[in-house]
Amino acid sequence: MDYKTLKDLPNVKGVPILVRLDLNVPVQDGKVADDYRIRKALPTVNFLKSKGAKVVLLSHIEGDVKSLRPVFERLEKDLPISFCDDVLLRGSEYVATMAAGDVLLCENLRMYEGEKNNDQDFAKKLASLGKIYVNEAFSVSHRAHASIVGVPRILPSFLGLQFEEEIKNLSLCFEPKHPFVFILGGAKFDTKMPLVEKFLNIADVLIVAGALANDIFKARGLQIGKSLFSDSKLNLANHISNPKIITPTDVVVLAADGARVIKNLEEIKPEDKICDAGPQSIKLFKTIIAQARTVLWNGPLGEYEHGFKEPTLKIAESIAGTSDAFSVVGGGDTVAAISELGMEQRFSFVSTGGGAMLDFLANETLPGIEALKR
């Protein structure tokens, strides 16, 4: 292991520590709607606080919400914390007044152009606020941003508690217990092709669902109507008849007359849009999952964000009910399904990452991990 963890920390009482978190959580009506990532970050924050460090939290948030203040208000429920609205102008002033064990949340890093550009001057300004750096932002460590790869090149750097768990549990999927079932949903087959290629050599079954399945249907010469598919030329010749790859045998489509199940995929019409896997598919998938010793799942089976939830929820229930299997799940909508069912504790490991999880599985490292190596 070429990086250090919190077990390797020196005496940090009174030492300002920059902690990169991923607090990019959904906010509705000014309130945090899903606090999963916040809850997963708290053990590292509390650990450093208990050691007497001055804990300076860095994060970003994107979308319609531009400020981390709703996240600050959520964090206030768990620990005493202050808020700095401009890390560059007032960050050093706040840090100077902090006492041992104090916690400070700095405003959205995406306010600054130097963050996404990994500008070295910006990284140096961030680094000047601390003496040590801790990365507890696995879910954005596939991005070469200043707070992810720039700062750890300047300061002594360590992995957070959750980040360490991510590496440990995801790495178990490289040498899994068999039968090993990998369920891959969502979209963008072109970006997930390296993952498919790699795990075809590791998994016993690769269930491909969601918009990814539409690409395979299309390659098989089936009509997919108005369904989502990858807007690039993919060579799926080696995948359309691979016995390891299982796709839905029936689908739920949406057309002008509403949603309906199509049992024969050859009956899909040009005006249809495939939105989910059908009931026979779910029955098949559940049978496969029941026999597994290892299950890895990323991505919903349908357009979860548009209300097509039932098959994804049923798969979550099926995996949770396979008590003998080591189960690893991740991805925004996937985790949302698990949270909706209140089943987080019934999976062996729930990853905080979506794209980062997939990149780590494909490459066995991330830019944020490489930046910590000495």
Q: Write out the catalytic residue numbers.
A: 37, 188, 332, 355
On the CB side of 255, CA atoms within 13 Å amount to 14
Cβ(352)–Cβ(315) below 8 Å: no
| 323-to-1, 171, 326 alpha-carbon distances in Å | 31, 20, 8
Contact assessment for residue 252 and residue 260, using Cβ atoms and an 8 Å cutoff: yes
- Residue 209's Cβ-count burial label (10 Å; 0-12, 13-18, 19+) is buried
* Paired tokens of 234: 């993919």
Residue 301 burial (CB count, 10 A): 34
Per the CB < 8 A criterion, the answer to whether 117 and 95 are in contact is no
266, HSE (Cβ side, Cα atoms, 13 Å) = 0
> Which region holds residue 258: left if phi is over 0, alpha if psi is between -120 and 50, else beta?
left
In angstroms, the CA 171 to CA 289 distance is 20
Give the distance between the most distant pair of CA atoms in the chain.
69
DSSP helix/strand/coil, 260 = strand
- Sheet with 251-255: list strands edge to edge: 258-262, 251-255, 273-277
Q: Label residue 307 left, alpha or beta by phi (over 0 means left) and psi (-120 to 50 means alpha).
A: left
Q: What are phi and psi of 74, to 5 degrees?
A: -70, -40
- For 222-241, letters b (16+ CB in 10 Å) and e give eebbebbbbeeeeebeebee
> Two tokens at 365?
């490292």
As a whole number of Å, the end-to-end CA separation of the chain is: 10
